[in-house]
A and B are shown apart, each in its own frame.
Chain A
Amino acid sequence: MAYGVNLTGMTLKNAIITAAGPWAGSAEGIQRCIDAGAAAVITETICLEERQRISPRLFMKDQQLFNTMLYSNLHLEEWERVLDQIDRKDAKIICSIWGTSASEMAYLGKKLENMGADALEISLSAPIGSRNKLVGYHSPDAEAFIRALVDTVNIPVMAKLSYDSASSPDFLKNLENAGVSAFSAIDALKGLLGVDLENRRVLMPTYGGYTGTNIRPVSLAMTAMLRQYSQLPIVSSGGVLCYEHVLEFLMLGATAVQLASAIQLQGYDVISSIISAMETWMESHGYNSVDDIRGVALASLRPFEDIVPRSLVASLIEPCACTDCHICEQSCIKGAITRNDDCTIAINSLRCDGCGLCVERCPKKIIKLRWR
């Protein structure tokens, strides 16, 4: 079964798009994304700059991934050749662009439309470099930039949002007024890897874009929020590593989902494995269309104020005699969890105020919340 989606008039064969990034910075890379089954490929960001990228530009510590990449190293003429070379099959090509003025955006967008781009994505607010002070931070200039582009081209224009721009309803309204067709969210967060204490130096030379699995919860929240702020389609991104993550975003209202870190860390094959795993899940659950699951989880999301306080306390569902594990005791700032004389765990229900942390953290999953 095919699970196609419609994104601002573009028919996508599935909900998986590869995000703007170095994996789509050459004809070979774009082709591999297409061959792996991506419904659309967003190019690495194309601009009119002449600067070279820095090296090293990828930084990683534990599971934390940082990049200091702003845009493609290829000039526009080279992109013309790239776009000519690829065999698009049934995939769409979305060109990510960036510029410093309205006329620059309009020129670049029009050129890429003429080179055959199916849509454009404006990189509004990547957290790297100083380029975005003008447009990325809620400035009215953003509206002028996008309006110049939208008025010039005849293809959809998507706006890729940072966490803070996505959180501002006024800013989103400006972008909508300017004629944006869809939102991509979220871009990388601004991050620093850390400080080398002995040498008193930062571990990376400039602010980086913090991406990967750790930013997914932030992006999930933004997808749900955007769904409430705006009627425009949302293309979610941020730490999507497996098909379950894709489904989560779709159930919070995303139209499609972008893969980025997954490709960086696992290679192009991850695209096809996520697509087929997702189809298997959809089939096994009897869904015929992505529309059947889009936004279905939103009904269960409520404002904090609407949640009725319930009087719950923690209790053990079986005695626990672990003596090498102290997680629940350490987690309880109320001092409600102690040891009996025989070293088994005791929960004092008068002290417990039902925060639920011991339940979340118990490795044996033998603590539950019950009515007082």
Chain B
Amino acid sequence: MNIKRIAELAGVSVATVSRVVNHPERVRDKTREHVLSVMEEYNFTPNWFARSLNLESSKTIALLIPSIETSYFQQIISGVETVAGNKGYAVLFGQTSNDPGREAEFVDMMVNRKVDGMIQVNSRLNGKETMASQNVELPRVHIGKNRIRANDTLCYVDIEEGARRMTQHLIELGYNTIMALFDEMNEDASEQINIGIHRALRDANQPISFSSVQAESSVRGGYLTIQRLIQNKYFPEAIVTASDLQAIGAMKAARDANINIPDDMALVSLTDSAVCSVLSPALTALELPSKKLGMAAARMLIDQIEDTLPYVDMPHDLILQPKLKIRESCGNTQDIYEWFD
């Protein structure tokens, strides 16, 4: 006996059966009584239903995040907090510093503190969890593409497509040598960016020389990397940085060496932030809907926590699209103001 069969027997939709269990107040009395009587007749008590009646909710969710120092992660935190606050949940959070051991400790700690659910940002656990957390059926949402259990929910920004569009834009502007600065602490993002860039390179009409370096995701990381390039007398026609901070450092290094952006070298960032539009030249960047991402993750987690009977057909993964904000640093002169692609 399952929810679909109950719906058939009761002559209502699956969504209505779900509502009877999850939000009985939203179903007309007659319908509710009818569905409940069918459920009783066929002795249908969903496991989830029973479980939730036994458990006491702590109205707390956990958020495990690699860092709280970059605007991208800060926006995610803000988004999670916004929705959690809306729904009356407190957020407990832990900074994992991309360390799987630290993350595993946090998972155990959160389970012991009886959180109702957990959001893991760019998890590094790869299934290597401790015994305690493995045995707990905790609602779990991942931000990033690294699912741990087959039925975990995923939310992510399609950075691969964003990197492809950004690279395509640079190629259309006529650059033939492109270099990428990856974030040395974020392997997953680097891999997706790399795939996206190579998709654009494959689609290009002319051969493009591409190279990449790992750098710290900071102003210093961007500065040192570009300074080294310049001192080695090699610099590409266009540079793509993973973070806005790297791009700002790169700008400073270029300025110190009297290299003009974008005339001598184009520069774009795969992370937009509030400062990008006020820099000179204004920095072409990819806007990542990070607050929206945090909000979506919190929503999907609270859906799982509160809806004792899962809605059939509820999408499991949520993919958000970034937006290309074309300003000045890429060398675009076609338009008199910033435009979005």
Q: Are A152 and B313 in contact (CB under 8 A)?
A: yes
Q: Are B315 and A78 in contact (CB under 8 A)?
A: no
Q: Are B82 and A75 in contact (CB under 8 A)?
A: yes
* Chain A neighbourhood of B79, CB < 8 A: 50
State the CA gap A154–B339 with chains docked (Å). 38
State the CA gap A130–B341 with chains docked (Å). 7
* Chain A neighbourhood of B15, CB < 8 A: 113-114, 154
State the CA gap A286–B289 with chains docked (Å). 57
Q: When the two chains form the complex, which single residue of A104, A113, A116, A130 contacts B318, counting CB atoms closer than 8 Å?
A: A104
Let me know if B314 is at the binding interface, CB within 8 A: yes
Q: Are B26 and A49 in contact (CB under 8 A)?
A: no
Q: Are B314 and A48 in contact (CB under 8 A)?
A: no
Q: Are B318 and A103 in contact (CB under 8 A)?
A: yes
Chain B nearest Cβ from A188, distance in angstroms: 20
Q: Are A104 and B313 in contact (CB under 8 A)?
A: no
Q: Are A154 and B311 in contact (CB under 8 A)?
A: no
Q: Are B295 and A50 in contact (CB under 8 A)?
A: yes
State the CA gap A115–B299 with chains docked (Å). 14
Q: Are B296 and A116 in contact (CB under 8 A)?
A: no
State the CA gap A117–B12 with chains docked (Å). 16
Q: Are A50 and B341 in contact (CB under 8 A)?
A: no
Chain B nearest Cβ from A202, distance in angstroms: 11
Q: Are A49 and B292 in contact (CB under 8 A)?
A: yes
- Interface flags for A46-77 (1: CB within 8 Å of B; 0: not) read 00111000000000000000000000000111
The size bracket of the interface on B is: 20 to 34
Q: Are A133 and B341 in contact (CB under 8 A)?
A: yes
* Given A48-B295, A130-B340, 11 new contacts (CB under 8 A): A48-B292, A50-B295, A75-B83, A75-B86, A77-B86, A100-B320, A101-B318, A102-B319, A103-B318, A116-B26, A133-B340
Let me know if A38 is at the binding interface, CB within 8 A: no
Let me know if B317 is at the binding interface, CB within 8 A: yes
Residues of B within 8 A of A (CB): 13-15, 18-19, 23, 26, 79, 82-83, 86-87, 158, 289, 291-292, 295-296, 299-300, 303, 311, 313-315, 317-321, 323, 339-341
Known interface pairs A114-B18, A114-B311. Does A134 touch B295 (Cβ–Cβ under 8 Å)?
no
* Chain B neighbourhood of A133, CB < 8 A: 340-341
Known interface pairs A50-B291, A77-B86. Does A134 touch B321 (Cβ–Cβ under 8 Å)?
yes
Q: Are A110 and B313 in contact (CB under 8 A)?
A: yes
Q: When the two chains form the complex, which single residue of A75, A77, A102, A110 contacts B311, counting CB atoms closer than 8 Å?
A: A110
Q: Are A103 and B292 in contact (CB under 8 A)?
A: no
Chain A nearest Cβ from B234, distance in angstroms: 36
State the CA gap A133–B289 with chains docked (Å). 17
Chain B nearest Cβ from A109, distance in angstroms: 9
Q: When the two chains form the complex, which single residue of B291, B315, B339 contacts A152, counting CB atoms closer than 8 Å?
A: B315
Cβ contacts A to B, 20 pairs, < 8 Å: A48-B292, A48-B295, A75-B86, A76-B299, A77-B86, A77-B87, A77-B299, A100-B321, A101-B319, A101-B320, A103-B315, A104-B319, A107-B315, A110-B311, A110-B315, A114-B18, A114-B311, A130-B340, A152-B313, A152-B314
**A75, A107, A115, A152 — which one has the most chain B CB atoms within 10 A of its CB?**
A107
